[in-house]
A and B are shown apart, each in its own frame.
Chain A
Amino acid sequence: MSALGELRQLKDSKAAKGDGKAAFWFLLPWFLGLFTVTAGPMLASLGLSFTKYNLLQPPSFIGFQNFVRMFSDERLLHSLGVTFTYVLVSVPLQLGLALALAVLLDRGVRGLSFYRSVYYLPSLIGGSVAIAVLWRTVFGVNGLFNQFLAIFGIHGQGWISSPDTAIGTLILLNVWTFGAPMVIFLAGLRQIPVSLYEAASVDGASKGRQFISITLPMLSPIIFFNLVLQLIHSFQSFTQAFVVSGGTGGPADSTLLFSLYLYQRGFRAFDMGYASALAWLLVVIIGAFTALNFWASKYWVFYDD
């Protein structure tokens, strides 16, 4: 079903040879892409991460200096803090909301396809510049949000201009796009055999008990799948932070997500060697989180097969 499941099963499938020539031609564009635009540049950036390079002069080898520099780069350390807050708060909220809505929609609601579309729509537009612009105005001093608070006599601050709350508005924006995982949960819920619930009802299990003992375990592979993908996705968030802060990551670096910092180092300061090292740090972080997830999944993900 999923790319992750495929990787798990890789070792089981048997390789064979036979259509080598045809396969070469069918795969030719993909091979070219792999060597020139994907894996090739990936290795090149690993090489560049050990150099000092500004595009104008040829790269000069400086060993591990870029990596050593990271430990004393205060903006980087700050940006990591911002990114972890962003990811670790928004992903659980997003998935929790997605699961709650999916369960609510699953049990025979009229107009399911209407609700599904409405809740899914923000996922399609949440990454766009237009929505980031909207967010910037909604949470501004005179924005929509404060106008609503004013109805209740509360005088709100500028949520985006205050360093304490700016990242919160971005977290909210990420949570707002819970429709995509929700649709996947919905599909997963359909696969749970109704007979399990019927048997549980006969045994007198309550709705809450059924949710904990049937729905959650049966859905755990899908929860795992969503969790891994949303983590990978959220670590790379860029557009919203860029537009909301006008490219600076401000106020006071409070929205300086990791990819925004990387962009500033690489494509504003043309500090390409350091930017490559940062990119590999991101790969290591995402890789570590994914590996941790796979390891932890042994203890909570339930595979039926």
Chain B
Amino acid sequence: MTETATLLSVRPELVTQNPVSRRRALQPVRAFVKHVVLILGALIMLYPVLWMVVSSLRPSDKIFGDPTLVLKTFDIKNYVNGWNALTEPYGHYLINSMLVVLGAIIGNLVACSLAAYAFARLNFRGKRWWFGIMLITIMVPIHVIIVPQYILFSQVGWVNTFWPLIVPKLLATDAFFVFLMVQFMRGIPRELDEAARIDGAGHPRIFLQIILPLMVPALGTTTIFTFIWTWNDFFSQLIYLTDPEKYTSSLALRSFVDSQGSTDWGAVFAMSVVSLLPVFLVFLFGQRFLLRGIATTGGK
């Protein structure tokens, strides 16, 4: 995921090239076989997910007898049951997830773009050094910082609040996005900055009025990936949120499965589908956004 984002936003021309140009003269038979293989592969890949969606609309006792995708009855009872199965209606947990996601997105957009501007455009002592440290932090596993971080946040009294999940983003700790934005800014012609500087603009104005508007595609990529990663996140939410009232969608779903055992799989599937829905929507919307972003910078 990570790597894709870099390539797509740093090298947009990779996507805009015409994919058909290389080998146009494929024989029809071979092309047909290839499509059959590709479609079969896609079907195998997505079959479990499709089956889950279909099963969530079946009566619970019918789910494990039916490996097909044929829906004989259309029943949303599982959704009603699942939605109300935990202490709070499931919407409560979706809102919690949404709050964390929103905080993370704002944090990443603001803090990472500020840091990226310094690395891409400013000259300062030890820049090489700090940039190297920033790159290394991309590769640091979360496990090696989570224990002291937990101790720190628990001493501030932030366990069972959303702050431990949001504040690090406000401090640009998702260094991957700093790197992504630095790469993108390097593609913006420096003449624009210099023209603005001659007109008397300082760094804050150049950043806000020249650079930011031009890097909307990179900001879009950051938004989309922050959304999906934070929404799917489990490890840090599991550690910081133990009060069921504060559960996010991931945690609620997991506690639902564990409390439910294997009794009501219909309802579990229904809430799984609900918890995946925002990711699907963002993917659909985000894809178009990415392509538009690529189109606007296509002249590069």
Q: Mark B259-299, 1 if CB is under 8 A from A, else 0.
A: 00010010011001101100100010001000000000000
For A280, give its contact among B67, B125, B131, B144 (CB under 8 Å).
B144
Among the 9-residue stretches A64-72, A80-88, A177-185, the one with 4 or more Cβ atoms under 8 Å from chain B is A177-185
Known: A23-B118, A133-B257. A282 touches B239 (CB 8 A): no
Shortest B191–chain A CB gap in Å is 18
| Residue in A closest to B117 when the chains form the complex, CB atoms | A26
Determine whether the beta carbon of B265 is less than 8 Å from that of A137: yes
Q: Which of B8-16, B70-78, B83-91, B212-220 lines the interface with chain A?
A: B8-16
Please give, as numbers and ranges, the residues of chain B lying within 8 Å of A39 by CB-CB distance: 133, 137
Do the beta carbons of B132 and A10 come within 8 Å of each other?
A: yes
Interface size on B, residues (CB 8 A): 111
Chain A 210-253, CB within 8 Å of chain B: the 1/0 string?
Answer: 00000000000000011001001001101100110011000000
Known contacts A184-B3, A243-B257, A148 near B67 by CB under 8 Å: yes
Once the chains are docked, how many angstroms separate the CA of A267 from the CA of B151? 11
- Shortest A53–chain B CB gap in Å is 9
A246 to B262 alpha-carbon distance, docked (Å): 12
Identify which of B15, B22, B148, B170 contacts A41 (C-beta below 8 A): B148
Q: What 3 A-B pairs have minimum CB-CB distances, sorted nearest first?
A: A33-B171, A41-B148, A44-B148
Please report B residues at the A interface, Cβ cutoff 8 Å.
1-4, 6-8, 10-11, 14-15, 17, 19-24, 26, 31, 34-35, 37-38, 41-42, 45-46, 48-49, 51-52, 64-67, 110-111, 114-115, 117-118, 122-152, 154, 167-168, 170-173, 175-176, 178-179, 202-203, 207, 228, 231-232, 234-235, 238-239, 250-251, 253-254, 257-258, 262, 265, 268-269, 272-273, 275-276, 279, 283, 287
Q: Is the interface of A mostly helix, strand, loop or mixed?
A: helix
Provide the residues of chain B in CB contact with A199, threshold 8 Å.
none
Q: Which residues of A contact B37 (CB under 8 A)?
A: 104
- Contact assessment for A41 and B7 in the assembled complex, using a CB-CB cutoff below 8 Å: no
Return the chain A residue nearest B124 by Cβ.
A23
Contact A27–B118 (Cβ < 8 Å)? yes
* Chain A, range 276-290, C-beta contacts under 8 Å to B: 276, 278-280, 282-283, 286, 290
Known A19-B124, A29-B172; judge A101-B134 contact (CB<8 A): no
A130–B128 Cα distance when bound, in Å, is: 42
